[in-house]
């Protein structure tokens, strides 16, 4: 059962996310055609991410400056918005630019999640799953995408490992923000895998709706995971190990 203190904290974050939910609704209600890219469609697509910037800033600039993990997630959201804008014009040759921006995002998120605890079994599982995903995509990749997709799969797999390695559902060190980070990373992987399948392998039914819904949910959960700094958790676990 979720501890009462965690319930109150989750509820306290809800009002700060109202702009995000409204912006997400605007995106799905307007549903601007992807075949006609414009700065307006780029703004509408990026608007929920902008709201997540505001969500983190609502905790105070001092919070970001004193919590490196939260700062890295904030900067990751900035690169995500740039990547989203590039992907609006992916058919005009900016797909690779978007991929590179999201690769930077995942490296920042992985850095925010930290390297403790190591979670070798979780890492091994992510290596196997990442390898299977790349093996499935590989026959349909050509040219530079053969290497680019491989590197991207490795980076997002690493991010997923770091997000889920610290997940503990029981014990005094458990935090709801770790569950948010792990779930967010998993949804991000599902979203990006769907993009890859739809672009390189076969048309995925309702791909855009599925990709964007899982993507926005992933970003929201990862942003939520920044609310509690990981540094005290790591210090607690180290003290327990001693």
Q: What is the DSSP string of 178-199?
A: HHHHHHHHHHHHHHHHHHHIII
* Residue 242, in any domain of the structure: no
Residues 6+ apart with CB under 8 A from 154: 130
**Encoded tokens for 83:** 């990547």
Band of residue 168 on the pLDDT scale cut at 50, 70, 90: confident
* Residue 233, in any domain of the structure: no
110: left (phi over 0), alpha (psi -120 to 50) or beta: alpha
For the cut 90, the answer to whether the pLDDT of residue 104 exceeds it is: yes
Average pLDDT, integer, range 154-177: 84
> Which residue from 45, 123, 117 is spatially nearest to 84, judged by alpha carbons?
45
pTM: 0.91
* Residue 235, in any domain of the structure: no
* Residue 234, in any domain of the structure: no
Band of residue 229 on the pLDDT scale cut at 50, 70, 90: low
Tell me the residue range of the domain where 216 lies: 4-228
**Encoded tokens for 237:** 């676990």
In this prediction, residue 12 carries a pLDDT of: 79
Number of domains in the chain: 1
* Residue 160, in any domain of the structure: yes
* Residue 239, in any domain of the structure: no
- The Cα 96–Cα 100 span in angstroms is 6
């Amino acid at each position: 059962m979720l501890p009462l203190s965690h319930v109150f904290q989750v509820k306290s974050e809800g009002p700060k996310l109202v702009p995000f939910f409204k912006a997400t609704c605007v995106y799905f209600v307007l549903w601007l055609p992807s075949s006609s890219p414009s700065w307006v469609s780029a703004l509408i697509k990026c608007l929920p991410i902008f709201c997540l910037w505001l969500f983190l800033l609502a905790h105070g600039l001092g919070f970001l400056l004193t919590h490196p993990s939260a700062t890295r997630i904030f900067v990751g959201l900035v690169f995500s918005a740039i990547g989203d804008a590039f992907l609006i014009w992916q058919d005009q040759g900016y797909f690779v630019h978007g991929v590179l921006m999201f690769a930077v995002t995942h490296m920042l998120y992985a850095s925010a999640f930290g390297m403790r605890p190591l979670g070798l079994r979780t890492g091994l599982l992510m290596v196997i799953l990442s390898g299977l995903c790349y093996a499935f995509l590989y026959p349909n990749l050509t040219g530079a995408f053969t290497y680019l997709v491989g590197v991207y799969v490795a980076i997002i797999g690493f991010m997923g490992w770091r997000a889920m390695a610290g997940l503990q559902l029981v014990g005094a060190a458990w935090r709801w923000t770790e569950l948010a980070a792990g779930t967010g990373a998993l949804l991000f992987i599902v979203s990006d895998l769907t993009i890859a399948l739809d672009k390189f392998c076969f048309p995925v039914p309702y791909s855009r709706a599925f990709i964007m819904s899982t993507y926005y949910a992933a970003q929201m959960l990862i942003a939520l995971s920044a609310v509690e700094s990981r540094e005290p958790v790591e210090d607690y676990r180290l003290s327990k190990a001693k």
